[in-house]
Amino acid sequence: MKQNITIPNTDLKLSPMGLGTVGAGVGWGKTPEDADAIFGAFLDMGGNLIDCAHVYADWQIVDGRQETARAERVTGDWMQRNKSRDKIILMTKGGHPVYTHPSMDLHINRVTRNDMRGDIEGSLRILRTDYIDIYFYHRDDPRIPVEEMVETMQDFIREGKVRYFAVSNWSADRQRAADAYCREKGYRGIVADQALLNLGSKYMNPLDDDTLVYVKGDLYDYHKENLNNLMMPYMGNASGFFHIYAAKGEEGVKGNPYATKENLAFASRMPQMMEKYGCSVTNIVLGYFTQEQFPCVPLYGPMDKASVIDAAKTFDITFDPKDYEF
């Protein structure tokens, strides 16, 4: 897996896939040995981009307790244990609603200056690092002027806590407004955008969480026109839809948001692609991003060491764009 994605007007050179830590300390990484195996395999395969969020795994109870910022803690433990900080590009996100609140509501945004200040300080402490390479607004609040939100990030950059800033789940209009303000002020501006995009997202039915932003329509056009802002798709494996179909057929995906006529038709011919390329379902699903109309660095959440190795092999395969026409 070659490090072949460069974000323009930065010194950031990224591996073509980022390692998502949403399962750190829950699905994997419960022991130091387990975490070392996952992170180590990713680095060994040429990966260098680690993606966290201050709320990752907050919703899980493990061994009878709910731990906040668990994924950041597991990542920080690994970096400290293996002296790995200078080997990676570290990303994390702040401003997400609080999962541990007794009346948790995904619509209550936490992206004020004070909210973000608290989250970045907490992330730095738990990750045990002096700086974050790319720091994201995890959500947006259109009631807050975009100029104020940009200046909050610029404060973190001036203080040396953040190198570059980015956004997640922002509309194209809000990103354009931020871009215009940053040009006016001479700031580098948004370097990356995390939103929902995958092989099946074009034809899927909406998910229950209506705070998620999909890379469709205006946002899709925005990324075609704005290559300074790198698309980093989340849910890149389509929530396992194509894997479930491969294992259980159409019966296994009944009621799945991705189980539409178009996605089912593509899923039915994946065995031919697997035979053609000698590859896995994961390779086909992630291979989609190599055929997009703008650069993409998908974020992949592994299950184990073997899944990391398998996913990384995707980017050594030269897929035919015609295989993805549907």
Cβ atoms 135, 127 nearer than 8 A: no
pLDDT of residue 103: 66
261 vs 325: which has the higher pLDDT: 261
Q: CB–CB of 265/211 below 8 Å? A: no
pLDDT, position 231? 98
Band (104; pLDDT cuts 50, 70, 90): confident
What is the spatial distance between Cα 117 and Cα 162, in angstroms, rounded to a whole number? 12
Domain count, the chain: 1
Local structure of residue 214 (DSSP, 8 states): B
**CA gap 79, 185 in Å, rounded:** 35
Confidence of residue 27 (pLDDT cuts 50, 70, 90): confident
Q: Which domain holds residue 50?
A: 5-238+282-317
**Cα–Cα distance, 209 to 107 (Å, whole number):** 9
Does residue 297 fall inside a structural domain? Answer: yes
Residues in a beta bridge with 168: 194
pLDDT tens digits along 177-187 = 999 999 999 99
User: Is 246 within a domain?
Assistant: no
Classify residue 262: in a domain, yes or no.
no
Answer yes or no: is 169 within a domain.
yes
Predicted pLDDT of residue 58: 67
- Domain membership of residue 277 (yes or no) is no
Q: pLDDT at position 101, please?
A: 61
| CATH number reported for the structural domain that contains residue 303 in this entry | 3.20.20.100
Please check the confidence at residue 95 and state whether its pLDDT lies above 70. yes
Residue 259 lies in a domain: no
